[in-house]
Amino acid sequence: MGSITTRKRRDGSQSYRARVRVMREGSVYHETKTFDRRPAAAAWIKKREKELARPGALEELNAHDPPLSKAIERYIDEAVKEIGRTKAQVLKTISTYPIADMSCSAIRSKNIIEFLQSLPGQPQTVGNYASHLASIFAIARPMWDFRLDDRETRDAITVARRMGIISRSTQRHRRPTLDELDRLLTHFIDRRRRTPQAMPMHKVIVFALFSTRRQAEITRLTWADFQKQHKRILVRDMKHPGEKLGNDTWVDLPDEAIRIIDSMPKRKSEIFPYSPAAITANFTRACKLLGIEGLHFHDLRHDGISRLFEMGWNIPHVAAVSGHRSWVSLKRYTHIRETGDKYATWAGLQLASGND
């Protein structure tokens, strides 16, 4: 059974979406195609219905119409670029929901919206699920010929955003106080003295603050990529919305960050030979132990960038340190008034740049 839906485009013209739906012995098959002329849509429906009436045609098509879970599994397995732990976990979680059991061709925007409504968490979290699911829809048809229609996700996301089901992540404005930083450094320096083999978190924290680097980026910095004479370092695979790997970027290093690097031993190729997870875990546990609430390791980067603007730096100068390719991302800082360097006389830098 076929049907035609008329849609009005943004430019005022009309399109005609033809839909074929066939049910045979409990097996259902959907297929849609959009045309500029209604007669062409009607002719396509007639042709497809005749083709699908052929014995074995529906079974053959359904063999290439797997459930969404298979598309997710294949995406994770075949992604050439590293998709990241968070995205992989989100996709695996989606696989546990009923929508993952639906055949690709059967999924419509209504099903996606219902799935998003069933998710726990804030609209920002649900928005991340919608974004990661959309990445599957974007490549499944052109790459594997899976019958996922990415227009369905676009429609669903538009509706979900307008209905408040999803929203963009809120920008954090938390910055550490000097007292909080002093307590953290004292804690980690004391631990280092008791256990010399422990990670020098006091150095990592201060370096993150002055270099504005993320924890994963810090762990990838190498001595071979450090050019002290030019006050810069190559950040491998810097975080970028569209590129997970190969986004290598030279960034400038403030003098304070160079002092921390100079204090690190050259025992391995990496300057900070630790894992991002270990840095996060150490920082989180210390904050909990010290009663420091609401502070994340990533807030050090925000504080470091804010500091540069407070010192009177302009956007291009700050971007050379932070690594932002788009200056638009730094516009959130332009309201900051020039107040000077609050770390100018901070004793923490001297403590962290020692050779302990």
Domain-located, residue 106: yes
**Both 102 and 225 in a single domain?**
no
First to last CA, the chain: 77
What is the extent of the structural domain holding 6? 2-63
pLDDT at position 238 is 81
Nearest alpha-carbon partner for 218 in 203, 208, 227, 210: 208
Please indicate whether residue 213 or residue 83 has the higher confidence score (pLDDT).
213
- Residue 120 resides in a domain: yes
CATH at residue 188? 1.10.443.10
Same domain, 332 and 272: yes
- Find how far residue 272's CA is from the centre of its chain: 24
The answer to whether the Cα torsion of 247, 275, 282, 255 is positive or negative is: negative
Verify that 144 and 202 share a domain, yes or no.
Answer: no
Average pLDDT over residues 326-351: 83
pLDDT value for 307: 93
pLDDT bucket at 22, cuts 50 / 70 / 90: confident
Is 172 domain-assigned? no
Same domain, 254 and 108: no
Same domain membership, residue 80 and residue 48 = no
Question: Which CATH number fits the domain that encloses residue 94?
Answer: 1.10.150
Lowest mean pLDDT among 100-104, 152-156, 240-244: 240-244
Is residue 289 a part of any domain in this protein? yes
Report H helices in the chain: 38-52, 57-63, 68-78, 85-94, 109-118, 123-144, 150-162, 178-194, 201-211, 215-220, 255-262, 276-290, 299-310, 315-322, 348-352
Residue 48 within any structural domain of the chain: yes
The mean of the pLDDT values for the chain is: 86
Whether 243 shows a pLDDT value over 80: the answer reads: no
- Both 253 and 133 in a single domain? no
Does residue 158 sit in the same domain as residue 193?
no
Which of 63, 86, 116 is at the close of a domain? 63
Domain count, the chain: 3
Q: Which of 17, 37, 63 is the last residue of a domain?
A: 63
Are 139 and 246 part of one and the same domain? Answer: no
Residue for token digits 């974004």?
A: 131
Is 112 in the same domain as 13?
no
Asked if 344 and 314 touch (Cβ cutoff 8 Å), the reply is no
Domain contains 311: yes
Residue 169 lies in a domain: no
Residue 242 has pLDDT above 80, yes or no: no
32 and 77 both lie in a single domain: no
Which of the pair, 329 or 263, is modelled with greater confidence?
263
168 assigned to some structural domain: no
pTM of the prediction? 0.63
In this predicted structure, the answer to whether residue 183 has a pLDDT above a threshold of 60 is yes
Confidence of residue 246 (pLDDT cuts 50, 70, 90): low
Say if residue 47 is in the same domain as residue 97. no
d(CA 338, CA 6): 57
317 pLDDT band, cuts 50/70/90, is very high
Is residue 348 located within the same domain as residue 234?
Answer: yes
Domain-terminating residue out of 162, 192, 223: 162
